[in-house]
Amino acid sequence: MLAKLDRLLSQADISLTDQQKQQLVDFVQLLDKWNKAYNLTSVRDPNEMLVKHIMDSLVVSPCLQGHSFIDVGTGPGLPGIPLAIANPDKHFVLLDSLGKRIRFIQQVLLKLGIKNVTPVQSRVEEYTDQQFDGVLSRAFASLNDMVNWCYHLPNENGLFYALKGVYHDEEILSIEKDIHGIDVVKLDIPQLVGSRHLILLKK
């Protein structure tokens, strides 16, 4: 699996240390193990997880601006854990309302020795502890829902980072809150079938 990850990273022009690569492989193995009992992801094959979960998360890394990030509706820690492994100088809050997902993330942090992640069990609209440089979401409902539910989370210069598959301009036009500074980045993920986009929004 390490050899496959090496090839994928090379194709995506992403450079990581041997320790970071090992942590990513260990994360996939833990996800595969826990998935059998807790149904954390519909992806069953660890090799597919490398493409659909790990690489799909890591390609966002060059776009991150700032130090503090929150991953809302993180599920089993995606994209938060791969991004935290790749960016040890940044801090990530991983937010999810389901206890089984947060317990899994706590195990991952313990086993892999990850120090720059804080897991939080909460509904996003009820989490008001702090504001962030970036609000990340992957496979979140619509852009309008994301902005509505997370509008209190970015700080003065903070950005929304929405990971989407197929992207249509109408989604941005349908956002009810006041936003600007829009950018749409087409993501190129090795061996992934289908299109992926990163939509950047600012209050």
Instruction: Please tell me the predicted confidence (pLDDT) of residue 167.
Output: 84
Instruction: Please tell me the predicted confidence (pLDDT) of residue 202.
Output: 96
CB 112 within 8 Å of CB 29:
no
Instruction: State the chain's mean pLDDT as an integer.
Output: 95
Task: With a cut of 80, say whether residue 80 has pLDDT above it.
Answer: yes
CB 59 within 8 Å of CB 189:
yes
Is 125 a known ligand-binding residue?
yes
Task: With a cut of 90, say whether residue 141 has pLDDT above it.
Answer: no
Task: With a cut of 80, say whether residue 10 has pLDDT above it.
Answer: yes
What range does the domain containing 45 cover? 1-202
The total number of structural domains in the chain stands at 1
Could you tell me the CATH number of the domain that includes residue 160? 3.40.50.150
Is 25 a known ligand-binding residue?
no
Q: What percent of the chain has pLDDT over 90?
A: 90
- Model confidence, pTM: 0.97
Task: With a cut of 80, say whether residue 19 has pLDDT above it.
Answer: yes
DSSP string, 107-134: HHHHHHT--SEEEEES-GGG--S--EEE
Return the amino acid letter for 22: Q
Going by pLDDT thresholds of 50, 70 and 90, the confidence category of residue 169 is confident
Is 78 a known ligand-binding residue?
yes
Pairing mode, strands 154-164 and 196-202? antiparallel
| CA dist., res. 67 & res. 125, Å (int) | 22
Task: With a cut of 80, say whether residue 181 has pLDDT above it.
Answer: no
- The mean pLDDT of 128-140, rounded to a whole number, is 93
Instruction: Please tell me the predicted confidence (pLDDT) of residue 170.
Output: 87
| CA dist., res. 83 & res. 49, Å (int) | 15
Task: With a cut of 80, say whether residue 140 has pLDDT above it.
Answer: no
